[in-house]
Chain A
Amino acid sequence: MSKAISLYLHVHQPFRVRHYTIFDVGADHGYFESTYEDRTNNERIIHKVAEKSYLPTNRHLLKLLQDHPEFCLSLSITGTVIEQLERWAPHVLDSFKDLVNTGRVEIVGETYHHSLAFFYSRAEFERQVKMHEEKVMQVFGQKPKVFRNTELAYNNDLAYWADKAGYKAILAEGWDKVLGWRSPNFVYRPAYSENIKLLMKNYRLSDDIAFRFGDRNWSGWPLTADKFSNWLNSTHEAQIFNLFMDYETFGEHQWHESGIFDFLEHLPSEWLREHGNKFMTVSQAADSFEPADAVDIPETLTWADTERDLSAWLGNSMQTSSILSLYALEEKILGTHDLSLIEDWRKLQTSDHFYYMCTKWWGDGDIHAYFSPYENPYDAFIAFTNAYHDLRYRLNEKGVEL
């Protein structure tokens, strides 16, 4: 039986809120602008990530696309990272366009602001999806046909929405609790849907690359393209291997020194050595296979942590009160028709801001799980809350009743 790898990479950077104090509220609206040396400086971070990850990865991927006509992949790229690249690193954005111009890179749709709007305001969610679609069309000349939500946050309602919106497939975590005895290596159909297909991440194989690759204590270390292809070839009950991961896996999460780029460079040739093996974009996977079964996912599932839920974003009261008060401003903010105010409000919806306020690992000594430009979750909350107060200040200035 022929098998395919569907490699899907996710590119995102938030607009981090600088150390923004109560004394800045009403005096300076530049929440996202910090001095270059600051840990929250977005320009410095985008340069660093581009150097370590985006540029070398794109160089390797372009070479692979040129050398192997059978190689293809999918990627999603948020509006917030596209904006940052346009502003601070246009040559890096060009290197993404070069990939897409080969005709074998599919762009996956999502919210422009990498937000959790689906769970708070359906109308705002749809606006952000539309914004993203337009941005992708403008930059890459493609209309997304497959959808992924922020953090792969998925449930039946989202699938129902995506089905009605005309997407041919949607992505989700291939979590054992929802799959049961079923394997993620087949195409499924979301429960209560008509046409849309469900592609589920093979988290074991994906995490072998994304998390375990450089771990010398892992039994699979060192992982070579040859060994990895053998694992896939010896998996008999499979049609498609959904390898979904962050783009920054290459060069940032797994450093250059770990050999991750050698792995990437050799994966296509090793995989394609076996007769019948293929690469597919997410659309090709949806077009090629009939659903094996319907999968019912009433509770929200994400690709994060051992809980696979939204608790890293919405697990404590600082997080929930922040997000609720932000969405409570929706009508008033949109009513001003002030584009810069609306845009700042949207940039604050990016899920990363809430992640920085997560306390579930904090104090347990396990701060490795914690990627944040702030000293602690409370500082993140204070900076965010002050920015929120500034939105209110600006509304008040415009005569909006608060």
Chain B
Amino acid sequence: MLGWELPPHNSGGLGVACYQLCRALSKKGADIEFVVPYTAEHPDVDFMSVNAAHPQDVQRVLKAGIAYDSFKYVKSSGEIEWVDLFGQSAIYEEAVGRIVGETSFDVIHAHDWLTCRAAIRAKMSTGKPLIVHFHSIEADRAGKPMGGNPLVREIESLALTLADKIVAVSQYTKDAIVREYDIPADKIEVVHNHSDPASLIPEEGENVYRYLTAMRELGYKVIVNVGRLTVQKGLPNLLRAFQLVVQRSPKTFLLIVGSGEQRNELIQQAADLGIAQNVLFTGFQRGKNWRDSYGVADLFVMPSVSEPFGLTALEAIGYGTPVLISKQSGVSEMILNALKVDFWDIHEMANKMIAVVQNDVLRDELYRNAYHEYRSHSWDESADKLLSIYEDHLSKSPSNADKAGAAA
């Protein structure tokens, strides 16, 4: 399996989804060799082997920054070199090309565009069936149809065309692939992500957001957003909607957890809107700081312009918070007990936030039913679906006709 990241070295939902998906697959007997483009320990992974793919003359590849930024190469000579995403994707391709010659496997399963070049090379050199799994496409990240970097679009288009099967994390993403790349719909299977209830860590000790906890005692309400501060996530609309909330319910805070290229402009925008005192930016958080942000909130809002899935919404529900999510998201296909809004409809977004901060019964009823629904789903369903896709392709592939079990 070709991936870009795994926890704790992840920058977002991709790593979490790969981790939980592989765990569910391996429980069902899949033998997985997971290849990442950096060198690091993965202490929580004991159900598959994780290998770093990098050039032979390189000792270590370190991820720098928290987003998909750049990679630091420590060469055997001790020399240090910085590589950007495109360079990294090309180096990963070379290294994977070498690894596949040394390993045996039945299926190539690749996640997102960054691994696509490597995946195509692996298919070309081994003839094994290729399944490309899209957690997002370039148009999502650009926040507009037909948008984004043309080089990335070219790689996505090529991989989608050459793949034997495409997996999309939602119907929303499947539709986008068909729309953006003219791929026949029957080549694409939808396999939803989940947030594994077993991976939730129970609330322990005092909530780290002491100020917000104290303010809640005084009748304040807290709305939280967790995610990268990037155009795809639609945060400027959330701030404009939140201004309307504050006008009617001044005792409301908006907690923004995450970092990204929009950080400074969002801080500026909050000040321009006159709500700087009500908006709190925490920066990127992990662990308890991250978990407690859900716990301190009355409502989680995901206003994404385009969200192929939206794992954070499930995590929010898992950690006790009802959700308001944009209709332009995959997770809205899955959770009925959520408030939903078009990402551009600022008045409706405000209307729904106000309704929740002014009505505890709405908040509680919404949460109770959403949690019940959340618990009714599991990664097992998704793993079963993937295993049957593997088996379909194993039986179709002449060189594998006699093999039943799947290893990817």
Contacts and interface: CB of A to CB of B under 8 A. Distances in A.
Given A22-B248, A376-B337, A382 B365 contact: no
Contacts of B362: 318, 378, 381-382, 385
A348 B361 CA distance: 19
A22 B359 CA distance: 13
Nearest to A360: B369
Contacts of A386: 351, 355
A272 B364 CA distance: 56
B354 interface: yes
A385 B355 contact: yes
B363 to A, nearest CB: 10
**Size band of the interface chain A makes with B:** 10 to 19
Interface string B336-378: 1101100000011011101100110110111001001100100
Contacts of B372: 363
A22 B354 contact: yes
**Size band of the interface chain B makes with A:** 20 to 34
Contacts of A367: 336
Contacts of A381: 355, 359, 362, 365
B351 A375 contact: no
A375 B355 contact: no
A20 to B, nearest CB: 9
Interface in A9-24: 21-23
Interface string A356-391: 000100110001000000011011011001100000
A22 B350 contact: yes
Contacts of A382: 351-352, 355, 362
Contacts of A219: none
A376 B323 CA distance: 14
Nearest to A367: B336
Given A21-B351, A22-B354, A23-B347, A363 B359 contact: no
A317 interface: yes
Contacts of A23: 244, 347, 350-351
Contacts of B348: 21
Interface in B276-299: none
B242 to A, nearest CB: 13
A386 B358 CA distance: 11
Contact of B361 (A317, A363, A379): A317
Interface string B111-155: 000000000000000000000000000000000000000000000
A378 B366 contact: yes
Contacts of B361: 317-318, 321
Contact of A317 (B339, B351, B364): B364
Contacts of B355: 22, 381-382, 385-386
A386 B354 CA distance: 10
Contacts of A316: 365
Contacts of A321: 359, 361
A385 B364 CA distance: 16
A374 to B, nearest CB: 11
Contact of A359 (B337, B347, B350, B359): B337
A376 B336 contact: yes
Contacts of B337: 359, 362-363, 376, 378
Identify which of A318, A379, A382 gathers the most chain B CB atoms within 10 Å of its CB. Answer: A382
B365 A317 contact: yes
A359 B336 CA distance: 11
Contacts of B244: 23
A312 to B, nearest CB: 15
Nearest to B374: A363
Contacts of B351: 21-23, 382, 386
Contacts of B352: 382
A321 B360 CA distance: 10
Given A317-B361, A317-B364, A318-B362, A363 B350 contact: no
A97 B304 CA distance: 55
A381 B362 CA distance: 8
A157 to B, nearest CB: 28
A376 B369 CA distance: 12
A359 B365 contact: yes
A367 B373 CA distance: 14
A363 B373 contact: yes
B336 A21 contact: no
A317 B367 CA distance: 12
A59 to B, nearest CB: 40
B359 A385 contact: yes
A23 B350 CA distance: 9
Contact of B365 (A22, A318, A379): A318
B345 to A, nearest CB: 10
A382 B324 CA distance: 13
Contacts of A21: 347-348, 351
A23 B245 CA distance: 10
A363 B335 CA distance: 8
A181 B82 CA distance: 85
B339 A362 contact: no
Contacts of B364: 317
Contacts of B354: 22
A21 B347 CA distance: 8
Interface of A: 21-23, 316-318, 321, 359, 362-363, 367, 375-376, 378-379, 381-382, 385-386
16 contacts: A21-B347, A22-B248, A22-B354, A23-B347, A317-B365, A321-B361, A359-B369, A363-B336, A363-B369, A363-B376, A378-B362, A378-B365, A378-B366, A381-B355, A385-B355, A385-B362
Pick the 9 closest A-B CB pairs, nearest first. Answer: A21-B351, A382-B355, A317-B361, A363-B373, A22-B354, A321-B361, A363-B336, A318-B365, A363-B337
Given A22-B351, A362-B369, A363-B336, 13 more contacts: A22-B355, A316-B365, A318-B361, A318-B362, A321-B361, A359-B337, A363-B376, A376-B336, A378-B337, A378-B339, A381-B362, A382-B351, A382-B362
